Structure 1
């Protein structure tokens, strides 16, 4: 979940609505998982027999029968480990559906979010699928802090729309209703996310004597733990994750969201610029499950139906 560049701020409901009510689909595991170790507890896909789109894949992947997926598996309900340690969530379910269309297994391998694109560039992963926002900085390989090019960039196969939310301890909002209220406060974020980018932007606006302190963590579970303990005043995550934490943590007694979600934008599957055949095969598979209704069923299962797209596009992020 690599640094997301800033997009024009917009209230959630002014564009395609982001993910709605989050379904409780398994116990939320509150342990960090960003250890760069392989996690093959969820192989998503099917054999090539009867796969309608298998011929669209590059021959090496088709022969291997596997697509390696880099993911930060600590971002419930998008991807996380259930109480039995199995990888589950919206992305793994969508990946399984894509695998049926393509006749291969999509194997999730765990890593810290800000290292996923590096892993993709090095060949550790074939794709990255981890609630990753599609934006121009990532497409072009630009560092959002410096504006300098740091890599060749990636292409995205877009599949969902979601925004960013702030949440606090329940009943302890401390007057926070949005980003402009954070000056003089402390906020926890996951490193390399849009939430971190927005916090850095807001910090630059704060007047002297009212500094916004930003505490970045390797995964969202660590941010939640920091907020729960009272170490920070607020935390920020993508709306689906914030809403799930509010609904599940402490039986719904730990947190509450404040204000509206902002920065509604597409989630995309990241693919190397050179892997155009793989990219196009994934897009074809995504559009196939949108058309056959399996996509809608998966989004309904995870409460993500309000973020549905009618068609998967390449590099739709701004």
Structure 2
């Protein structure tokens, strides 16, 4: 597939591995995590004591004294972050946060929220950071609404830690004529609200001819979109590649969905930090670089089977 639009919102190009590379780590019932808009509970990763942490002095004093970094996250996006069968928050992001917490001497406390509200929560200081498979884009850095092009906020800084593309998936054995985004003209796609998949669907629909636009149904979380597709309520769904591949491998024991076509829009995931909190931003970068250097990063990436998205170093505002 080829396209040029936005991500979990606005970026570029294609990469990643096959669905078989996604490891199934822990029991996951894709429809069992509930509606995240009703779940405002929090989960903590296991941090370390500040006195034993090599990078603790890089943190702002307020956070160092509290010993906690509050993380806004859409905890319904397996395998990046989700609730396991016991209700514990697990995934790529919580594991990386745990490793970073040991470097910084703090606990990363994950708090659940809908994806499209995370930057607002960061702006209102409900969260210290947002870590939720969020794509680093120029629009987000500058506080621009990607659809209207209008300024809507002061923007955020990102500490980039991973790379992912976007994929289309369908019910297994059905809609075999769908291979690219242009094949969705005249069809219905389900997506999560506020994501690159939604933006890309809107952009591609404008290119459709003969009055055959793409019908887009958007949901608060990806699991709701999957449920809709599973029930036959749409022709296709779209998510970030690791999420789509995980759903294909796990939902219905691998019998519900299939990936179609190639990934597009490969771009960095970033930890979002308020523009005026450069001390915290730089501390997070130092912690990420440390866990990359000591091998903990590679262990996490390998655990979840997403090695092709690994980065060699943390980057600030690397999104385009």
- Asked if the contact 1:173–1:258 (Cα under 8 Å) also holds between the matched residues in 2, the reply is no
Q: How do 1:49-198 and structure 2 match up within 5 A?
A: 49-198=51-200
Q: Please give the TM-score of this superposition, normalised by the length of structure 1.
A: 0.95
Shift, 1:37, TM fit: 4.4
Helix, strand or coil: the match of 1:12? coil
Q: CA RMSD in A?
A: 1.7
Q: How do 1:267-306 and structure 2 match up within 5 A?
A: 267-306=269-308
Deviations 1:223-269 (Å, cap 9, x if unpaired)? 10000000000000000000000000000000000000100000000
Deviations 1:22-65 (Å, cap 9, x if unpaired)? 11011223233422644333334222121000000000000000
Name the structure 2 match of 1:7.
11
- Asked if the contact 2:162–2:268 (Cα under 8 Å) also holds between the matched residues in 1, the reply is yes
Name the structure 1 match of 2:212.
210
Name the structure 2 match of 1:23.
23
Shift, 1:178, TM fit: 1.1
Helix, strand or coil: the match of 1:35? helix
Q: Distance in 2 between matches of 1:266 and 1:241?
A: 15
Q: Distance in 1 between matches of 2:319 and 2:34?
A: 29
Shift, 1:305, TM fit: 1.1
Q: Please give the TM-score of this superposition, normalised by the length of structure 2.
A: 0.94
Helix, strand or coil: the match of 2:194? coil
Structure 1 consecutive aligned stretches of length 4 or more whose deviation exceeds 6 Å: 17-20
- CA change 1:40–1:90 in 2 (3 A) is same
Helix, strand or coil: the match of 1:85? coil
- CA change 1:189–1:247 in 2 (3 A) is same
Q: Distance in 2 between matches of 1:314 and 1:150?
A: 22
- Asked if the contact 1:3–1:144 (Cα under 8 Å) also holds between the matched residues in 2, the reply is no
- Asked if the contact 2:80–2:91 (Cα under 8 Å) also holds between the matched residues in 1, the reply is yes
Q: Distance in 2 between matches of 1:39 and 1:5?
A: 26
- CA change 1:122–1:19 in 2 (3 A) is farther
- CA change 1:100–1:37 in 2 (3 A) is same
Q: Distance in 1 between matches of 2:147 and 2:18?
A: 26
Q: What stretches of structure 1 of length at least 5 have no aligned partner?
A: none
Q: What stretches of structure 2 of length at least 5 have no aligned partner?
A: 1-5
Shift, 1:200, TM fit: 0.2
Helix, strand or coil: the match of 1:11? coil
- Asked if the contact 1:189–1:214 (Cα under 8 Å) also holds between the matched residues in 2, the reply is yes
Q: Distance in 2 between matches of 1:36 and 1:3?
A: 25
Q: Is 2:40 the partner of 1:41?
A: no
- Asked if the contact 1:140–1:153 (Cα under 8 Å) also holds between the matched residues in 2, the reply is yes
- Asked if the contact 2:19–2:249 (Cα under 8 Å) also holds between the matched residues in 1, the reply is no
Q: Distance in 2 between matches of 1:211 and 1:141?
A: 29
- Asked if the contact 1:33–1:72 (Cα under 8 Å) also holds between the matched residues in 2, the reply is no
Helix, strand or coil: the match of 2:198? helix
Q: Distance in 2 between matches of 1:246 and 1:258?
A: 11
- Asked if the contact 1:4–1:137 (Cα under 8 Å) also holds between the matched residues in 2, the reply is no
